[in-house]
Every structure is written in C-alpha cells, then in structure tokens.
Amino acid sequence: MKFLKLLVHICVILSLTVITQVGGIVWLLSVFVSKKMKTKKRYTFPLLYLVFNLLVVPPIAKIFGREKLPIFSSELKPRNIAYPLLFRNYVTPELSNLLITSAADLKPSNISITYLDANFPFFNGFPLLPHLSHNDGKKIDISFQYLDNKGMPTNKKPSISGYGVYVNSTNQTSEKCKYKGYWQYDFPKYLSFGKINELTLDEKSTRTLVLEFVNNSNTQKIFIEPYLKQQLQLQNYSKIRFHGCQAVRHDDHIHLQIK
C-alpha cells in the first residue's frame, strides 16, 4: 500500500511538473503541510497553488528574466484563465514590452491581443509541451482576429483553447507535410477542447495585427501557414516564415518570436 501511494505521488508530481513546471513542488509542499497540520490535501493543495501562482512565483520569475503577462486587461489578455493558472503566461521583459506596446497601438483600431501559450516562469531550455521552442521566454502564440456570423468583428474565438480550429482545414502545405509522414503536423485539432463558435477569419484585422508585430524592430520571426501569408498579402515580409513540417500547422494561431 505504501509503495502504491508513493507511486501515485510520483505520477502526480511528474504530471504537474510537465503541465505547469511549478505544480509538482506545490504538491510536495502540500503533502508536507497536510501531515504537519493534519489537514487534507484537497484543501491545502489548491490554497498553496493559488498562493504560489499569485504571490510567490511572479517575483522569483523576475530573477530568471521572466515577467507574468496581464490577465484582466481588455487590450492584452489570455484566451482563458487556464493559461495563467498553469503558469504558461511568462515572457522576457522585452517580449512583454512589445506586447503591451502593440496592444496600446492597436486599441484605436479596436483590436485586442489574445495570447495562448507563452513560456514557463523558470529556466531556459525547460520544455513547454507540446511546443518545440517555447523554452526561453522569447516565444508566444497569438490568436487570429475573427468575424461573427453577421460579419462583424468579435473578440470571440472558435475553440475553448484557441487552438485546433483551422482557417482552411485542407490546404497544400498540410497535405504535403502529412503525406511526408509528419503525423504531428495536424495534431492541434486534438487540443481545441471543443469548438464553441462558428467564426470566420477577419483578414483585415489579422493582417493589421501581424504587421504591428512585423514592424517592431525586436521581432525576429513570425510563423503562419504559407497560404495565409499569401491570402493576407504578406508575401513581401521576410520576418514571416514557414515553420517547416517538423512543427505543427499555424493556421489556427500566430507564433511570435523575438530576438
């Protein structure tokens, strides 16, 4: 029985570490506190987790060169509360400044920036799965802009997570990559966690959003699907690149990366 309990703890710690980076440590601490105070982990863990999320991690992250992105700002916000709760909304000060400045510049155009996965708060090289490169605070995924069924701009997104609902589910690049055996290329469709809105791409606003990032001198590269680069008339911008078949498709979000 003791071995089984130990195995469960190890699995929980590993899972929380992979998903949140910090959760495994919080779980260990909650086990210790629960034994000392003779309380149940279902009470201590959520409380300690929130304390770490709101009070402990943000100041320590600054030592590692990471900042927590805004949560409740109307101009720059996460797709949903899961991203900050899972410690996946940390970036370098340079990227934070780029996003905050861009959000202010876009406000007169009624465009707000909705971010998805960014980075964990600590250590360069620590993987933020399932991403290949979100491990140094310099990368972030941004949602497209959309129109509702009346053709009006909306801040709604097509899926719960912000991933997995493609502008064009079948296109030349995706078919080519899948034909070459890159099975993971289409994987984001399994990460949507449900399609909740029938929306269409707002090409004008999405182009404006992309160009805002392109025109920032600190931007190194932006990933979107090649057909979208052409569709949005962005062919002449060298910072906008194809990410390759070894990654996943980018016609459900924008990948932004700074120098």
Tens-digit pLDDT profile for residues 153-188: 999 999 999 999 999 988 889 999 989 999 999 999
Q: To 10 degrees, what angle do helices 41-51 and 23-37 make?
A: 130
| Cβ density class 64-75: b for 16+ within 10 Å, e for less | ebbbbbbeeeeb
Q: How confident is the model at residue 224 (pLDDT cuts 50, 70, 90)?
A: very high
Per-chain mean pLDDT for the chain: 95
Would you call 136 helix, strand, or coil by DSSP?
A: coil
Would you call 20 helix, strand, or coil by DSSP?
A: helix
What pLDDT does residue 38 have? 80
What pLDDT does residue 81 have? 97
Which tokens is 178 given?
Answer: 């899948």
Residue 40, pLDDT > 90, answer no
Residue 42, pLDDT > 90, answer no
Residue 35, pLDDT > 90, answer no
Number of alpha carbons in the 13 Å side-chain half-sphere of residue 123: 7
Q: Which of 118, 67, 104, 159 is nearest to 256 (CA)?
A: 118
Burial class (CB in 10 A: 0-12, 13-18, 19+), 33: middle
What pLDDT does residue 66 have? 98
Structure confidence by residue, pLDDT tens digits, 236-258: 999 999 999 999 999 999 999 99
Q: How confident is the model at residue 228 (pLDDT cuts 50, 70, 90)?
A: very high
Residue 197, pLDDT > 80, answer yes
Structure confidence by residue, pLDDT tens digits, 87-125: 999 999 999 999 999 999 999 999 999 999 999 999 999
Residue 128, pLDDT > 80, answer yes
Domains of the chain and any CATH numbers: 2-63 (no CATH), 67-258 (3.30.1380.10)
Residue 139, pLDDT > 90, answer yes
Residue 13, pLDDT > 80, answer yes
Q: Which of 168, 138, 152 is nearest to 256 (CA)?
A: 138
Q: How confident is the model at residue 25 (pLDDT cuts 50, 70, 90)?
A: very high
Residue 4, pLDDT > 80, answer yes
Residue 213: CB atoms within 10 A of its CB come to 22
Cα torsion at 237, 226, 197, 73 (round to 10°)? -30
Structure confidence by residue, pLDDT tens digits, 54-67: 999 999 999 999 99
Q: How confident is the model at residue 73 (pLDDT cuts 50, 70, 90)?
A: very high
